[in-house]
Each structure stands twice: as structure tokens, then as C-alpha cells.
Amino acid sequence: MTAVVTNAAVLRDLARALEAGPGALQAGAPPSVGRLVSELRARGSTLAEPACVRCGRSGVPLTSSSEGGACSSCRRRQLAAACSRCGGVKPVAGRDDAGRALCAACAPRPRRACSACGEVRVIARRARDGDGDLCDRCYLGPIATCGSCGRAKPCNFVAQGRAICRSCSPRRQLSCAHCARTRAPCVQWSEGPVCEPCYRAALARRGRCGGCGTERRLVSPPGPAAERCASCAGVDPLAACRHCGIEDRLYANGCCVRCSLATRARELIGAPGGPLEAIHGAIVAAPQPYSAQNWLRSAASAKILAGLAAEGGPVTHEVLDASVPRQAVDFLRHLLVANGVLEPRDEGLVRLERWIGAKLETVDDADRRRLLASYARWRLLHRARRRSAASPPGLTPIAHAKTYLNSAIAFLAFLAERGRDLAECSQADVDAWAAESPGAHEARDFLDWALDRKLLAGVVLAGRAQRQGTALDDDTRWATLGRLLHDEDLELTDRVAGCLVLLYGQQLTRIVAITRDQLSIDDEVAHLQLGSTSIEIPEPLRGLLARLAREGRRYVGIGSPATPWLFPGLSPGRPLGASHLGERLRRLNIPTMAGRRSALLHLGARLPPAVLADLLGITASTAVRWVSSAGGDWTTYAAQVVSDQVIANPVE
């Protein structure tokens, strides 16, 4: 007893507990009885060690309850009550000013100065092991592999062996204080839990304050009827970036998404003033900062960029050529070129050169390989380089060159099977090739080159027969044009591109290459230069073009600077891909090939070849072919001009 009873209060508690009988020794509660039982057991007693009636733990102080002795955790659960704020029945962690119960999530926690940021905030981890207090914003938790998403991130429940990051943690469902819907709360404000949509709406609710008259975020009274700013209402701002001070949604560590993006980009690029400094500014200026954050976190191209920055060496095309995967390298290369870190390079031409080298290695015969190398160098690559010099940067077509070289390799192999070389090739051999080989006409380019070089003589290979193909009927074309011109639910890019196909017969490869310099717009008239002569664009297409030039596409690549393209793509500094644009139009049930034929037949029936070629930027032979197919000539053009003049200036 002397070892247990240390003061009069303990003696009173012990006496009160033992008045109920010897059962108190079995319950082991209150703590003074538990200590008495421990002393008796130490002196040889056979009494059982007291344990919590709910969880079964022993060796901890127990509290008397109707069920028996309970540990502190179980006792709190026994006394759980409905939280006055969230309504959940949970252990009571505190009480509000009116004395009503509050759970641990809703109860105000003590605030102290954080050892990391220095601000007085709620402490999430108390000082230990020489480290100071960390507030709820600075404490991230231990890094572990999340059992749900598999990423190495700050996780909860790491010690229990079931690590889960905050993003994957299940969230409780509560009634929103603003909309009254049962949703996962995004933030806890004075009026109660607020769901994500209401949180975003509150942060975006700006207007002229009824108190100070300034344009601020309105917070009082809470909800859509707010009329006063935080300063006039005498409350803390809902959310304000600790770096730039803007009242906006916080992204990480008390900073807005733009400031967080600048910090992460600086960590990736390195110290200011390096060779990649222009990339830092381009990333921070991204029009969609949340997309830029996702790119920095998970994109393969961002990992390659981080590796280049860490190495600190010169950034060259050759360094990128050694990196993989190709798609990520291509995106990063476009980013570096668009922001002046790398000199522009025609990637199509470079890949064609590499492909030709690899393809020639597959030819076993040395004489044939030398002949094909000469053809590739002086015909295919020479033509590709001339087109590269005349085409917009990086838009050199290379598919035909690959087809021609494959066909030349197959043709020489065909001759070898017949026991002949190129100099011995006869018209009979060419006819046999044309009869037996699918796509035989593709070898005509190689034979023309060989004839020019006098490597053979007296042979002719017919080219591919021109097939007109189907065209949209006029009713379908005009109905589709009406939908594109007036349906506001369609993407603006698709509407303008579709109109250029159906009205002016433009190829998709030429549409995506249109620059802003080709478009001239004033208050009443718009001109678009597709050929040597500009075309006056009437309404309502003029209005659509003006909107596209003013607003641009909604989505552009991360790090894209100001672009000259009217149809910019997702790669920085690059236009939209023609194949991608074609797929977008097909999803709208717009057949681009048939629509282009219909437009050219319509124009060919009304314009002479020379005018058609000047306006649309097509060759004279192509214009003649379309005019001939449409049955048009100069006579019908002159008649149409006279008719238009009569309508414009009728005779009195």
C-alpha cells in the first residue's frame, strides 16, 4: 500500500473503488487500482494482469466504465458524441464556444510558430529528434510507395505497412455548408465543410466590394450572395499565395499554382543564367499551369530535360539523338528550338537520311548498293533538300522518297532474279515487272533517273492512272458548310478548317501550314492568301477567321512561345498535324477528300485555270485538270463575269 498510495487523493480513489468489492481488482480501474494489482503480482499474488475490456491491451492505465476497465483510446470511443459541426459520431476532441462537442477533424488545434516557414499555424508534427515543430503546410509525411497508385510520395499509415498517399486516401462524405450536397469536403471554413465545386466557386467570386469599393474576392456573407471582401468583413482571406499575394486557390505549400510551377521549374532547370534559362520562362508562362505541373511531374520529356540540366553540358541535337523514347525526345527538341536554345533542324530530312543509310545496308549486292546510293543521293535527297528550303521549317514530305527507294530496290532484285543487271534491262523486263508487281508504277522515278543518267535506254514504264474519285454532291456540301458556319457547339479550329476544305478545296497539309501573316482582317473585309493572289473572305467565315486569329486554339504545347501558325499544335512552335486534323474532321462526318473534290469541281466550273491556280496556290496542270473535269473554260468564265456585272449594275 505504501508503494501505491502516494497522497491522500490516491487513497480516496482507491478506497472508493474497493468499496464495490474485490471485482475492482479484476477490472484494474481506476489507475490506482491497477498499480495496486501490479504491486501484488510483483509480491507473488496470482491475480490476473488487468487488461482493457474492449481492445485487450494490458500494461496501460485503465479507466472505470460500465463495461469494466478501459484504456484511454477505448474510453474516448465509449464517450463518442455527435460532432456539432460535421455531424459524425466520433470521440470528442474539443468543444466550441457553446460547449458543444467537436471531433478531432473539426476541433481547433493549437497554433505555434513553424520551424520551417516561421508562420504561426496549426502544428502537424511536434518537435522531436532535434527537429522543430512543423505546420500542416510544411509537414509532408514520410516518403513511401503508395499501395494504390504505386508512386513514391508522402504517405500516411507507413508504420502500419499500408502506405497510401493523400490523393488516394478515401475521403469522408459530409454535407456542404454552401450547397447542402453530400460530398467529400475540400476545405473546412467557419461555416462548415465546403465541397470542391463550392470552394472553386467561392475563390472565383470576384466583384466590387460593397465596403471599400475595390475589385476583390467577395467572402461575406458566405455563398453566392457575398458582397464584402475579407478586409471589410474582418476575416482572414479564404486563400492567398504567400509568395505573390494573389487571392487564388493554393496549389502546394501555401503557394498558388503559378508560383509553385516557378519553384518546380527552377528545381528542374537549375540556377538562373544557365543555357536552359529560356525554358524556365517558357514553362512558367504556360497558359495552362496545371497541365504544366502534370508535365513536370510525369512526362518522359521532362525527365530527359532534367537529365540535361543535371549534366550541365552543352545541349545539342546530337545529345538528343542519343536519348529515348523518340516521341518524348521530339517534343523536347521542339521545345528547345521554339525557345531559341537549339538551332532549327529539318527533322524529316534528317530521318530520311538515316533511313536511307539503314535501308541500303540491307542490300547484299555491292554493285546494286552503289547504284541505289547514287540514286538516293542525287535524286531523292537532292529533291528533299530543295523542298526543305522552299517549305515551312520542318514540314518536308518524305513518304514518297521512301516509297520510291523501296520500289527501286525491289525492281533491281527483280532484274537480278531474271539474270540481268540494269544496263541489260529491256522493255520486256519492264513490262513483266509492271504485270507481276503490285505498285509497279512507283519504280518510274528510278527508271526516269536511270534514263537521264544513260544507265539504260529504250524503256518506258507507264505511270499510275489518274482516278478522279468520288465527290460530295452539292446539297450535302452546302448542308455541311451550313453546320460548320453556324453550329457554335463545334470546335472553332474544326469549323474553320472544314470551311477551307469545302469552300476552297485546300489540302489538310496546306491548311495546317497557314500562318497569321497570310491572313489580313479589318473591320469589314478579310483576305486570306492561299496562292499568289489573296482571296476576299465573306461573312460568316470572316468572323470565324477573326475569332480564331484573336483567340487561338484552346490547347497548345507546354512551353510554346508566341506562334506564327493559325493552327498551332501541341508540340511547341509546331503546327497541328495534318493527320490529326483529318481525324478531327472525320469525327464530324466531314469526308475531306470527297469534300475537296467537290469544292474544286465547283470552282473549276466557274474559273479559268490561270485564275484558279493563282487563287488556290495549285499548279497550272492541276488547275487545268480540274477545270477540264468540271467542264469549265474561259467562255463560261467570261459569261459569269458579265452576268455578275449585270446583276451589280442593272440597266435602267
At residue 65, the pLDDT reads 73
Q: What is the pLDDT of residue 646?
A: 47
What is the pLDDT, as a whole number, of residue 39?
66
Task: Kindly indicate the confidence band of residue 463, based on its pLDDT and cuts at 50, 70 and 90.
Answer: low
Q: What is the DSSP letter of 135?
A: E
* Same domain as 483, residue 443: no
Residue 226 lies in a domain: no
pLDDT computed for residue 27 by the predictor: 61
Quote the number of domains for the chain.
4
Name the least confident of 33-42, 481-490, 510-519.
33-42
pLDDT digits over 536-561, tens only? Answer: 998 899 999 999 998 887 777 788 88
Q: Are 28 and 69 in contact (CB under 8 A)?
A: yes
**Helical spans, DSSP H, in 418-555:** 427-436, 444-452, 474-486, 492-504, 508-511, 541-551
Q: Is residue 210 part of a domain?
A: no
To the nearest whole number, what is the mean pLDDT of the chain? 84
> Residue 88, SS3?
coil
Cα distance between residue 500 and residue 497, in whole Å: 5
**Residues making up the chain, counted from first to last:** 652
- How do residues 65-109 score in pLDDT, each as one tens digit? 777 677 888 888 888 888 887 777 888 888 888 888 888 878 887
- What is the model's pLDDT at position 393? 63
Instruction: Express each pLDDT in 295-327 by its tens digit.
Output: 998 899 999 999 999 888 889 999 999 888 999
User: Is 528 in the same domain as 406?
Assistant: no
Residues 370 and 273 in one domain: no
- Say whether pLDDT at 12 is over 80: no
Per residue in 180-189, pLDDT (tens digit) is 898 888 887 7
> Would you say residue 515 lies in a domain?
yes
CA distances to 55, 85, 100, 186 from 88, in Å: 22, 8, 13, 17
Q: Is residue 622 part of a domain?
A: yes
- 555: CATH: 1.10.443
- Check if the beta carbon of residue 238 is closer than 8 Å to that of residue 252: no
Query: What per-residue confidence (pLDDT) applies to 109?
Result: 77
Asked if the model's pLDDT at residue 433 lies above 60, the reply is: yes
Which value, to the nearest 10 degrees, does the dihedral of the CA atoms of residues 129, 133, 137, 138 take?
-40
The helix, strand and coil proportions of the chain, stated in percent and rounded to the nearest 5, come to 45, 10, 45
Q: How far is Cα 315 from Cα 428, in angstroms, rounded to an integer?
A: 56
Question: What does the pLDDT read at residue 241?
Answer: 84
Lowest mean pLDDT among 192-196, 392-396, 419-423: 392-396
- 419 and 507 fall within a common domain: no
- Together in a domain, 409 and 525: no
Whether residues 437 and 326 fall in one domain: no
**pLDDT score recorded for residue 544:** 93
Q: How much is the pLDDT for 416?
A: 93
Q: Summarize the confidence of residues 331-358 as an average pLDDT.
A: 91
Confidence of residue 372 (pLDDT cuts 50, 70, 90): very high
Q: What is the pLDDT of residue 481?
A: 95
The predicted structure's pLDDT at residue 475:
93
Do 605 and 481 lie in one domain? The reply is: yes
pLDDT beyond 70 at 212: yes
User: How much is the CA Rg of the chain, to the nearest whole Å?
Assistant: 39
**198, part of any domain:** no
Question: What pLDDT is recorded for position 137?
Answer: 80
For residues 508 and 644, membership in a common domain is answered with: yes
* Higher per-residue confidence, 197 vs 462: 197
Statement to judge: residues 497 and 565 lie in one domain: yes
pLDDT at 157: 87
Domain containing residue 516: 474-648
Q: Which pLDDT tens digit goes with each residue over 228-252?
A: 888 888 877 777 888 888 877 788 8
Average of pLDDT values for 481-498?
94
Quote the pLDDT of residue 10. Answer: 63
Q: Looking at the domain assignment, is residue 142 inside a domain?
A: no
Say what the pLDDT of residue 5 is: 62
Assess whether 518 and 567 both reside in one domain.
Answer: yes
* End-of-domain residue from the set 33, 49, 77: 77
- pLDDT average, residue stretch 244-262: 85
* Residue where a domain terminates, one of 77, 98, 133: 77
Residue 96 within a domain: no
Q: Are 395 and 388 in contact (CB under 8 A)?
A: no
Q: What is the pLDDT of residue 652?
A: 42
Residue owning grid cell 492567398? 240
Question: What pLDDT is recorded for position 395?
Answer: 67
Cell of 195: 465541397
What pLDDT is recorded for position 360?
Answer: 95
Residues of the chain with pLDDT > 70: what percent? Answer: 89
The proportion of the chain whose per-residue pLDDT surpasses 90, expressed as a percent, equals 33
Sign of the torsion angle spanned by Cα atoms 330, 334, 340, 345: positive
Selection from 136-140, 230-234, 470-474 with the highest mean pLDDT: 470-474
* Residue 304 falls inside a structural domain: yes
Identify the domain boundary among 77, 97, 112: 77
Residue 264 has pLDDT above 60, yes or no: yes
Q: CA angle, 346 as apex, 344 and 347 as ends, to 5°?
A: 110
Kindly state whether residues 525 and 602 are assigned to the same domain.
Answer: yes
The predicted-structure confidence for 19-55, as pLDDT tens digits, reads as follows: 666 666 666 566 667 677 776 776 767 677 777 777 7
Same domain, 331 and 380: no
